[in-house]
Structure 1
């Protein structure tokens, strides 16, 4: 009998991002088409499916790492821009990461006086930093990637950063969900492969035992 079509290994059911679900084989012999079925093509198709799932898993793992590195940077930038907006509005709120550095300056400020100039450090090169005084401004410059920097009014910058943070967090959540789904499919395909292989081993052993029994009876 002919082996099942490779397309029958994968179900039509997919997850929200279009990753197909693997078929779990309940009855190996029925799936293969009978006790005389060939398993080589089926096992080869299983290996192809496993390779595709592993390729997707590798890509999504890299994407997850990239997002996990990117999200803290966006959060830090957003907090700093919100802090600059707060200073312009007279609020004494420092970014969470910089509370220790700015605490003394904030305590010295009088509610009736304009905020003191903000002094900070910025990176010139690896391990090389310089001190700078930030002027009161309603504009910030944001790196957008690919060596592109644009200026934004502070409210617009906050809106942009928040939208990018929301999008990155949603993408990370989807990526984590996809990785969990993929690993379930990898497990299913590995179990399918083991069951078909073991079924074939048992079939070969039974055939050998039957042949040996026939030889003994003939003698």
Structure 2
């Protein structure tokens, strides 16, 4: 007996399968006495898997939406420090990394405009450090051309300003790419959930119609038996 050909599921770029659409319920069930309850149970399990993936992606999107502004803000600070140091040393200002926003560049230019000469830019930088959501402390930054970046797991490493800016730009680009993919996957999953809901409705309505036809046939048979008697 020849093996049935394997049906290749259509996948999106991240490997999430496409839900099969039930075009003809008779062909899908197989026979009028087919296992409708088994098919509906399978639909429910598939829908539950899509819902689970959707929940995970929503949590991931929320985390990325909180992470991206933090990276942008940190990159802005590093870019400002690099430009300030270059000005203090009389060197050409480093080329700005493409952070996808002109607002940060304008803010940095405005800050640097306040430091009219190299001597002013060479003075210690006085700024505010956030200690809590509403609590700040004034501090003087001793600039040495390096900056410490938190990498997670209670780990901080010192990087030269140029390397720090490159690392943050890479992380920012990666986070934005991940966010785009997560949004695309969420849209894909919602489409598949809708398909499964349509499948469920079509099979359920088909089953109701089948039961009514069967019941009508039984009633006609009983009436025929009564008339024969």
TM-score, normalised via structure 2 length: 0.82
Distance 1:26 1:108, change over 3 A: closer
2:40 equivalent in structure 1 = 43
Question: Does the Cα contact within 8 Å between 1:144 and 1:150 map onto a contact in 2?
Answer: yes
| 1:190 and 2:194 are equivalent in the alignment | no
For residues 40-91 of structure 1, give each alpha carbon's deviation from its aligned partner in whole angstroms, at most 9, with x where no partner exists: 1111111111111111111111111101110110011001100101111226
Question: Does the Cα contact within 8 Å between 2:10 and 2:18 map onto a contact in 1?
Answer: yes
Distance 1:117 1:98, change over 3 A: farther
**Partner Cα separation in structure 1 for residue 191 and residue 172 of structure 2:** 29
Distance 1:108 1:14, change over 3 A: closer
Question: Does the Cα contact within 8 Å between 1:28 and 1:199 map onto a contact in 2?
Answer: yes
Distance 1:72 1:108, change over 3 A: closer
| 1:211 and 2:208 are equivalent in the alignment | no
Structure 1 residue 109 displacement after superposition: 3.0
2:83 equivalent in structure 1 = 86
**Partner Cα separation in structure 2 for residue 106 and residue 83 of structure 1:** 8
Question: Does the Cα contact within 8 Å between 1:76 and 1:97 map onto a contact in 2?
Answer: no
Question: Does the Cα contact within 8 Å between 1:64 and 1:175 map onto a contact in 2?
Answer: yes
5+ residue gaps in structure 2?
1-5, 88-92, 97-102
Distance 1:136 1:206, change over 3 A: same
Distance 1:195 1:56, change over 3 A: same
1:166 equivalent in structure 2 = 173
* Richer in strand (by share): 1
Distance 1:106 1:156, change over 3 A: closer
Q: What does residue range 122-141 of structure 1 map to in structure 2 within 5 Å? A: 122-141=129-148
**Partner Cα separation in structure 1 for residue 112 and residue 173 of structure 2:** 30
Distance 1:169 1:128, change over 3 A: same
2:99 equivalent in structure 1 = none
Q: What's the Cα RMSD here? A: 2.4
